[in-house]
Amino acid sequence: MAVVNVALAGRSYEVRVGAGLLDDAIVQAREFIAPWSGRKVPVVADANARRLHGDRLTQSLATNGHAIDWYEVSPGEGSKSWAELERLTDWLLARGVTRSDHVFALGGGVVGDLVGFACAILKRGCGFVQLPTTLLAQVDSSVGGKTAINASAGKNLIGAFHQPSLVLADTACLATLPQREMRAGLAEVFKYGLLGDAEFFARVDQDSAAILACDNAVLEPVIAHCVGMKARIVAEDERETKDARALLNLGHTFGHALEAETGFGDRLLHGEAVALGMVLAARFSARRDLISLADAESVTEALARAGLPTEISALGLDCDGTVLADHMRHDKKAGGGTVPFILLRALGEAYVARDVELADVAAFMDEQLQ
Ligand code: NAD
Ligand code: MG
C-alpha cells in the first residue's frame, strides 16, 4: 500500500492506494465506521461499483458487526443533478446523519462529486470518505475537494470545495473497469507527466500496456505518483486562486470544447477529450514556438500508443474552429474577458498563458479539423 498525505491546515487527510483496500475497509476506515455502531453505515454507490465490489465492503464491515445501508446511484453523468441531490440529501437526513458523521462514496467521479457536494451542504457540512473505483477517480476526482453537480447551463457549475476525510483507492476495483474507461483515466495520468514531470510521462508511455492490464506492481506506484502531484498542487492552491491548480486543466480547455460539441456523452469520454486536448495544447504551443513540432508529435505518439484518440479530424465534427473557440469562451474557467490556456514551455513544464487570442485558436482549430 502507498500512502499520500494531503496537507491542508486542520483538514489534512490520507489517500491510501493498494490492491484489496475494500476487503480491509473495516481496519482502514475504522475511525469513520465505528461511530455508526448500532446503526447501518450509509454507503452511496454507483450501481456497477456496488454490483462488482459491494460484497467486499459488506464482508469487511460484517467482521465487526456493521451492516450497510446502500443508496444506489444510476451510472452516468445524469446522476449529477438537482433531482438526485435532493433524493440523496433527503435520504441522508432520514437516516439522521449529523455533522460529525461520515458518509461513504463508492464509485467513479460521478458518485464522488455528487456525494461530496451533498455532504458539503448537509447540515452545513458533514464528513465523507471516498472509495474511488475508476482510474480517473483514483488519480484525480476523489482527491482535492472539488465537488459538484451539473446545471442546465453547463457541467459542474453548482458545487463547493469540501475535502474528504480519507480516500481509499483499491486498485483491485480497476480489474472490472471497461478498457475504454481505463484508457480515459490513463489520459489524466499522462497529464500529470506532461504538466510537471517529463520523466514520469516517459515512464507512463513505457508502462501504458501494464497499466491498462491492471498490473498492480506498476499501477499502484503510478496512481500514488499522480495523487502525490495533485496533493502538492492542492496544498499550495486549494481553491485555484493562483496558477498552481490551474495547471491541472492542461488539455481541458480544448477538450471541454470537444465535449460540449459532442454533447458530453458516450461519443467522447472526458479522458478521451483530455487526450485530444493535450495534443492540441502541444501543437498550439509548437505553433507559438514554445516547443518544437517534434516534441508536440512525441506527445501525440505516446497517447496514440496507449490507444487514445489524437486527431480531431477523425471525430467527424460538423462545425468549424470558430464554433469550438466559442465553447472555450464559455468554459467556467474563463473570467475577466480572456480565456486562460495551459500551454507547454517544454514537455513536463506547463504554464498559464493569458495572452491567447481566440481568433488565433479558431484558425488553429480549422487546420486541425482538416
Ligand atoms: P463515472 O463515475 O461515470 O464512471 C464511469 C463508468 O464506470 C460508469 O458507467 C460506472 O458505472 C462504471 N464503473 C465505476 N467503477 C467501476 C468498476 N470498478 N468496474 C466497472 N465499472 C465501473 O466516471 P469517472 O470517469 O469516474 O468520473 C467522471 C466524473 O468525474 C465527471 O462527472 C467529472 O466531472 C468528474 N470529475 C471530477 C473531478 C474533481 O476534481 N472533482 C475531477 C475530474 C473529473
Ligand atoms: Mg479531467
- DSSP string of 237-284? -TTS-SHHHHGGGTTHHHHHHHHHHTTSSTTS-HHHHHHHHHHHHHHH
CA distance 215 to 160: 35
Residue corresponding to grid cell 496512481: 223
Task: Copy the grid coordinates of residue 352.
Answer: 498559464
CA of residue 98 to ligand 2 center, whole Å: 32
Residue corresponding to grid cell 487526450: 275
Tens digit of each residue's pLDDT (9 = 90 or more) over 221-257: 999 999 999 999 999 999 999 999 999 999 999 999 9
Residue 36 Cα to chain centre, angstroms? 29
Q: Is 49 in the pocket of ligand 1 (CB under 6 A)?
A: yes
Which residue's CA is the closest to the ligand 1 atom numbered 19? Answer: 177
Q: Is 181 in the pocket of ligand 1 (CB under 6 A)?
A: yes
Cβ-contact 303, 278 below 8 angstroms: yes
Reduced to 3 states (helix: H, G, I; strand: E, B; else coil), residue 197 is: coil
Looking at residue 330, its pLDDT comes to 78
CA of residue 38 to ligand 2 center, whole Å: 39
Residues 6+ apart with CB under 8 A from 331: 253, 256, 257, 339
Task: Copy the grid coordinates of residue 12.
Answer: 489534512
Tell whether the model's pLDDT for residue 55 goes beyond 70: yes
Which residue's CA is the closest to the ligand 1 atom numbered 37? Answer: 141
CA distance 300 to 164: 35
Reduced to 3 states (helix: H, G, I; strand: E, B; else coil), residue 67 is: coil
Which residue's CA is the closest to the ligand 1 atom numbered 32? Answer: 110
Lowest mean pLDDT among 9-18, 179-188, 336-345: 336-345
289 is in an annotated binding site: no
Residue 106 Cα to chain centre, angstroms? 14
CA distance 297 to 344: 13
Which contiguous run of DSSP H or E holds residue 363?
Answer: helix 358-369
Which residue numbers are catalytic?
124, 146, 188, 230, 240, 245, 249, 252, 256, 270
Q: Of the ligands numbered here, which is closest to the C-alpha atom of 112?
A: 1
- Average pLDDT of the chain, as a whole number: 96
Residues 6+ apart with CB under 8 A from 255: 270, 273, 274, 275, 276, 277, 278
Q: Of the ligands numbered here, which is closest to the C-alpha atom of 233?
A: 1
CA distance 235 to 334: 23
46 conformational bin, left if phi > 0, alpha if psi -120 to 50, beta if neither: beta
Residues 6+ apart with CB under 8 A from 241: none
Tell whether the model's pLDDT for residue 70 goes beyond 80: yes
For this complex, say whether ipTM is above 0.90: yes
Backbone angles phi and psi of 196, in degrees to 5: -155, 5
What DSSP state is assigned to residue 310?
-
CA of residue 136 to ligand 2 center, whole Å: 8
Whole-angstrom CA distances from 185 to 49, 86, 192, 219, 286 are 16, 29, 12, 12, 26
Q: Which one, of 225, 218, 102, 112, lies nearest residue 171 by Cα?
A: 218
Residues 6+ apart with CB under 8 A from 145: 116, 161, 162, 163, 164, 234, 238
pLDDT higher at 337 or 269: 269
Looking at residue 337, its pLDDT comes to 62
CA of residue 297 to ligand 1 center, whole Å: 29
Q: Is 75 in the pocket of ligand 1 (CB under 6 A)?
A: yes
Tell whether the model's pLDDT for residue 333 goes beyond 80: no
Task: Copy the grid coordinates of residue 125.
Answer: 457540512
Looking at residue 334, its pLDDT comes to 60
Looking at residue 264, its pLDDT comes to 87
Q: What is the CA radius of gyration of the chain?
A: 20
Beta bridge partners of 14: 5, 166
Q: Which one, of 349, 325, 318, lies nearest residue 339 by Cα?
A: 325
Q: Which atom of ligand 1 is nearest to the CA of 52?
A: 19
CA distance 16 to 289: 41
Tens digit of each residue's pLDDT (9 = 90 or more) over 111-123: 999 999 999 999 9
What DSSP state is assigned to residue 40?
P
Task: Copy the grid coordinates of residue 261.
Answer: 460539441
